[in-house]
Amino acid sequence: MCSRFVVRATAVFSLLLTMLFGGVFVVFAQQRTTTGAKPGGLTVKRIFAEPSLSGRLTRGIAWAPDSKRLSYIETKGRGKVAKTELWAMEVATGGRSLLLSAEKLESVLPAPPSRQPQATGTGRQAPFEYQWAPGGDALLLEVPHALVWFDLKSQTARVLVNGRENLNDVKISPDGNYVSFVRNHNLWLVSIADGKEHALTTGGSEEVRKGELDWVYPEELGIFTGYWWAPDSSAIAYLEMDERMVPQFPLIDFESFTGEAELQRYPVPGGANPVVRVLVVPVVGGEARPMDLGVETDMYIPRVNWLPDSKHLAIQRLNRTQTILDLLLADTTTGKSTTLLSDKDAYWINVSDDLRFLKDGKRFLWSSERSGYRHLYLYDFSVKQPLQLTKGEWEVSHVDAVDEAKGVVYFTAMEKSPLERHLYRVGLDGSGFTRITAEDGTHCVNFAPDRAIYVNTYSNASTPPRQDLYRRDGKKLATLNENKVAELDEYHLSPVEFITIKSHDGMPLNCSMIKPPSFDPAKKYPVLVYTYGGPNVQVVVNAWTGSFFLWQQLMAQMGYIIFSLDNRGSAGRGHVFEEPIHYRFGAQELSDQRDGAQWLKGQTYVDAERIGIWGWGYGGHMTLHAMFEAPEIFKAGFAGAPVTDWHFYDTIYTERYLGLLPMHDDSYEESTPAENAGKLKGKLLIAHGSSDDNVHYSNTLALINDLIEAGKYAEVMAFPGRGHEVSDPPAQRLLWDRVTKFFLDNL
């Protein structure tokens, strides 16, 4: 959903003007940089400059099919002089070799068309990507408009596809004979042998997408492909998404003289969703066969998987209220389906990617929150009750790999602490539960195809991520990227303290605190609270959070205590911890944040009259609730890209938690912070990108009008052409200079 910024990009920041209307000051203008810092300390300019103080992670990591080599993209230099190369690391020796030089890449990749992708907002595109051929003898090189087949032995390249249209969701068939892609809303194949193209679907359009996802499915269901190859490469299953009834929302280009707009299909609560079908089409061509999904069309298809036999599909069907998830087994020859299982929840279902069918096709791995916590279950078609593999008052995050030969499942979980992510294993018979990773912090793993080795990306709250190679038993083999940032030592960063407090009703709540350098408990300090507060996100984590964390360190160096609390509704502590926000956003969250503020006020070193709050996306929404409904606590607040009225947001996210309209209209009204805009007493700053395709800019404009009618003043920074994350360096520096000065002046 709405997240804090995590993307760094480049863009041009123009159209700078200042406007004053009503009681709201809207800033479109270049601000004079007034942010000061102690000599030798952090500055906004340095935090958002290159080279990044988070270092540079190795990107484009991919395993060769034989698991003996690990390839990765390496970029040398920066800006216009940057050179990109493709390297490989031998697992056995740790030796590295150049697969493709920068010069070779430049010579084999076709030049891009004149139209360039924009850097932020809608239309964002990755530059160069690649895939290993199934046989390990070639690479598929991808740029947005072209596909190139590169033979590693002969070092020769063949252009398979080249044109002006973008090629999306590119895949190599399991047998290595075809490359599939989506172009102009249809599914296409190109033969690797002769380069001949043919369309598997026809009639696709912006209204009816074939093999292509809409906006809301990836955003809220976490599904990132619209089609799936059969294991034997005989057929492709795909989604058809009919969006003809979904309203179009204009994303206006305010820099154009004629008010040009990009129209985005955006379903809103109570309105029409895409009508989705699952079809299977033979690779040799022919009529696509629809699968039987039942009589109800107002539902979601969040996941589709082939069974090993290439004759059956496992289709997950979620009802619109998102309280029943059915796993259907569809015969691709007839299209008929049966229900394998149904998960039901009184609140809502959180969909996962944990379904794994074992090679015998008769057993499958499934995860469920039916106990209040996500755990793993092994189902057998011949046995009525599944075998529960994990249990306890902690969560499985996701399945990483299944090694059938050894009878083991590898998964990431929060068993040790909800603040951390660790790798575990358990037998397919439920025995041998073991934590593999040792270091306190957050581990993210990428297993080799043979499940014997993995790449571990590890960080903690004070250490940028590093990447190492490990054996499956946890023994370290080699370092891929130490990512040591020596410059950080110059800034003497304050440690992050993790504490637990109790709410007024006895619920333990996880918190973090950063104190100013040379902290003196005899003095009183202002406090800046960072919040998100919504589902699926934690802010109290033992992980590196990049420039966001460094800005908080800057504020600590300026004399502020930085405090965060994960209220009920946040992730990491099971479905039971999320449930209190059902049918009401902002109430339980703010109640817990109030308890956190009361705890702060009880500390002798806290200045109880100088507590501020900020957040982005849902955190911006929570900041508004705090400023409007708890003005006696929070004296200043900064809300980034906030949802101000839940009628504006999309169907899947909003209806999951607040219910369907008009039945639950009261839930929407009570969850909308703008309803209480007239209660604002403190100082409020709002920032929003005008091309935000997630939380539309109209949210902020509607709130401005509510503030005008209430005779209340707030400062608003508008960022023309920026998306949900203001991520280009000029805009970032302007934004955080202003946010810093805002809190210095008002807290």
DSSP state letters, 576-604: HHHGGGTT-SSHHHHHHHHHHHHHHHTST
Domain boundary among 453, 483, 513: 483
DSSP class of 421: B
CB 263 within 8 A of CB 253: no
Give me the pLDDT at residue 411, please: 99
* Average pLDDT of the chain, as a whole number: 93
Give me the pLDDT at residue 79, please: 73
Whether residues 478 and 532 fall in one domain = no
Whether residues 461 and 495 fall in one domain = no
Number of domains in the chain: 2
Domain boundary among 468, 483, 498: 483
Q: Does any domain span residue 157?
A: no
Give me the pLDDT at residue 38, please: 52
Q: Are strands 168-172 and 178-183 parallel, antiparallel or unpaired?
A: antiparallel
Domain boundary among 483, 498, 517: 483
What three-state secondary structure class fits 462? coil
Per-residue pLDDT tens digits for 239-298: 999 999 999 999 999 999 999 999 999 999 999 999 999 999 999 989 999 999 999 999
Per-residue pLDDT tens digits for 171-223: 999 999 999 999 999 999 999 999 999 999 999 999 999 999 999 999 999 99
Whether residues 465 and 588 fall in one domain = no
Q: Are strands 387-388 and 396-403 parallel, antiparallel or unpaired?
A: unpaired
Whether residues 468 and 537 fall in one domain = no
Q: Where are the beta strands (DSSP E) in 358-448?
A: 363-368, 375-380, 387-388, 396-403, 408-413, 422-427, 434-435, 442-447
CATH code of the domain in which 452 resides? 2.120.10.30
Whether residues 614 and 666 fall in one domain = yes
Q: Reduced to 3 DSSP states, what percent helix, strand and coil does the chain have, rounded to the nearest 5?
A: 15, 35, 50
Whether residues 546 and 643 fall in one domain = yes
Q: Does any domain span residue 499?
A: yes
Q: Does any domain span residue 656?
A: yes
Of the candidates 7, 2, 140, the residue with the CA atom closest to the CA atom of residue 546: 7
**Residue appearing with tokens 């038993």:** 473
Q: Does any domain span residue 248?
A: no
10-residue mean pLDDT profile of the chain (747 residues): values are 31 27 37 43 95 96 98 87 93 95 94 58 59 98 97 97 97 99 98 97 98 98 98 99 98 93 97 98 95 97 99 99 99 98 98 97 97 98 94 98 98 99 99 98 99 99 98 97 97 97 98 98 99 97 97 98 99 98 98 99 98 98 99 98 98 99 98 96 98 98 97 97 94 98 98
- C-alpha 81/C-alpha 664 separation (Å) is 56
CB 701 within 8 A of CB 254: no
CB 262 within 8 A of CB 251: yes
Burial track 249-266 (b if 16+ CB lie within 10 A, e otherwise)? bebebeeeeeeeebebbb
CATH code of the domain in which 646 resides? 3.40.50.1820
Q: Does any domain span residue 2?
A: no
CB atoms within 10 A of CB 619: 25
Residue type, 739: V
Q: Does any domain span residue 513?
A: yes
Whether residues 477 and 503 fall in one domain = no
The beta-carbon contacts of 380-388 under 8 Å, at least 24 apart in sequence, are 381/340, 387/429, 387/430, 388/430
Give me the pLDDT at residue 126, please: 47
CB atoms within 10 A of CB 612: 26
DSSP class of 717: E
Give me the pLDDT at residue 25, please: 38
What residues contact residue 23 under an 8 Å CB cut-off, 6+ apart?
Answer: 707, 708, 711, 712, 713, 714
Per-residue pLDDT tens digits for 324-372: 999 999 999 999 999 999 999 999 999 999 999 999 999 999 999 999 9
Q: Does any domain span residue 514?
A: yes
Six-digit token string for 695? 């939380």
Per-residue pLDDT tens digits for 112-138: 886 544 444 333 344 689 999 999 999
Q: Does any domain span residue 646?
A: yes
Whether residues 427 and 567 fall in one domain = no
Whether residues 528 and 620 fall in one domain = yes
Give me the pLDDT at residue 77, please: 82
Whether residues 463 and 507 fall in one domain = no
Whether residues 475 and 516 fall in one domain = no
Per-residue pLDDT tens digits for 47-60: 999 999 999 999 99
The domain in which residue 390 lies consists of: 380-483
Whether residues 731 and 622 fall in one domain = yes
